[in-house]
Chain A
Amino acid sequence: MLLRDPFTKSLHDARRSLLGWTVAIVAVGAMYASFWPTMQSPEMTKAMQAYPEGLLEAFNYSDLTSAAGYLGSAVYGLLIPLLVAVFAIAAGTRAVAGDEEAGTLDLVLAHPVGRTRLALLRFAAVAVGIVTVAVLLGLAMVALSGPAGFDGIGVGGFAAMTLHLALFGLAFAALAFAVGAATGRRAVALAAGAGVAVVGYLANSVFPQVEGLTWAREISPFHWYLGGSPLVDGVQPVGALLLLGTTALLVAAGTAAFTRRDLAV
């Protein structure tokens, strides 16, 4: 029964949005992936060589000559993480701050539900949504790998990439959730999520091109997510643990702040 507790209720309420995001993200991923056969033509290689290297790097287009390089750049390197981040930030914001600003949180918390329990169950529902999107995208890629000719990437590579993508989404959801839970303000949570996404992206792809700023990459969630090519070399423990640790820390801090403050009217 989907109306049993705040966890299942959140999934129930998010069902349409989750379906929409899943379809969109899988469709974009599948579309880009199916371009791969055409990317292998000599004309395309020449065309890509005409672009300045810095520009390609800014778009995470590092290596377009192998299937893994192309997927890691065009699919998992740019559009997909950005879409997942937007989805995660929106869902994380909605979990507490969105509900509070809509004036609908009072009623639930006037019921016998603890704030810690409510916050954690709602984040768990957000997490389920993010994992679902990442897994379905991964399955679509595995299904396409035969027809599109993704040579050199095994199911293990896709599994590792899927894990990294899910952790990446969780970290952004946790950020928006934590800021929203601590402040109760929707706009602040969205701004924090969007701000970190933009700065994190630049820190991974643009700042390192400047001499003396290469360290910036190390503190970017995009680097924790993409660094070390999980698609080829499997799960990268440092990156994965940094994403997971950040998520845990943010969820704990946000929930703690939420239990201590006044609810907004």
Chain B
Amino acid sequence: MAEPAIHTEGLVKTYGRNRGLTGLDLRVERGEVYGFLGPNGAGKSTTIRLLLDLIRPTAGRISVLGAEPRRDGVALRRRIGYLAGDFVVDGRQTARELLTYLGNLRGGVPRARIDELAARLDLDLDRRIRGLSKGNRQKVGVVQAFMHDPELLILDEPTSGLDPFLQHEFLAMVREARADGRTVFMSSHVMSEVQQTADRVGIIRDGRLVTVARVEELRERAVRKVEITFAEPVGQAEFAALPGVSEVSVTGTVLRCRLDGRADALVKAAAGHTVVGLLSEEPDLEELFFGYYSREEATSAAA
């Protein structure tokens, strides 16, 4: 098996008043979309800046695409695309000037490629960046991160400030990158931003990884509200006893309940009746995600 795209061991970064990282063990496999979740100040940006060799670790090891950022930084960054949540650049230049320059730093990106991405995101390349709205400025950032088709995309809170259209297009680009076998490492403080695309999510808190889970598993574990409409009224007791089912209420022919985990038992029980309609809400991973936090807080408060 190929080396992981990102691998850190016991990564520590202390600086000033900030605690930074307190021992981060992170492993991102090649070809996956990894959501890096945590509240503001948990160490997400610190991790990303360490991967890019913008800052240096206090202790621990980092390997990115099999290379060490500190030693092989220049060659390594050729293979990486990076987008910061707050994409700041000198506003006096046009988007095209900036993108041409950044492309040249990478050994040249064809003009047609830049035009294609700009057209896709509906970005006017010939306006000065100063005159662009926040969303349009962020589009420039998206173009520069994707234009050279990097092996690894490192995206720090990428969709903050993007309008729904752009978010949709952006997520499609992330999916395409994965389909091409590229790796995407994406940080966020909201689950909804990554749950649509990520294969796995890692949750960081106070500078270390609290948990890593497959999004599919999270979905399975998540609580969802289910509403089943039957042809005839059903008994509440029959459903209340099922594993994972709670808060059952029956109003006429409509049954509402909360479902924790797999839907199997509920579906099989319902199949004994004539089912007219079935409605299951998309599970709220946010709730589950914050469940980790509150549990963590409870443990640390008890200690």
Contacts and interface: CB of A to CB of B under 8 A. Distances in A.
Given A4-B104, A262-B15, A110 B74 contact: no
B105 A112 contact: yes
A113 B54 contact: no
B105 A113 contact: yes
A13 interface: yes
Interface string B86-127: 111110110001001110111100000000000000000000
B88 A110 contact: no
B89 A104 contact: yes
Contacts of A3: 97, 100-101, 104
Nearest to B73: A114
Interface in A96-123: 102-104, 106-114
B77 interface: yes
Given A102-B88, A110-B77, A262 B54 contact: yes
B49 A111 contact: no
Contacts of B100: 3
B106 A102 contact: no
B55 interface: yes
B74 A113 contact: yes
A52 B52 CA distance: 62
Given A262-B15, A265-B45, A107 B101 contact: no
Nearest to A263: B54
Contacts of B78: 112
A185 interface: no
A111 B77 contact: yes
Interface in A218-265: 262-263, 265
Given A13-B90, A104-B90, 5 more contacts: A109-B53, A110-B54, A262-B15, A263-B49, A265-B45
Interface of A: 1, 3-6, 9, 13, 102-104, 106-114, 262-263, 265
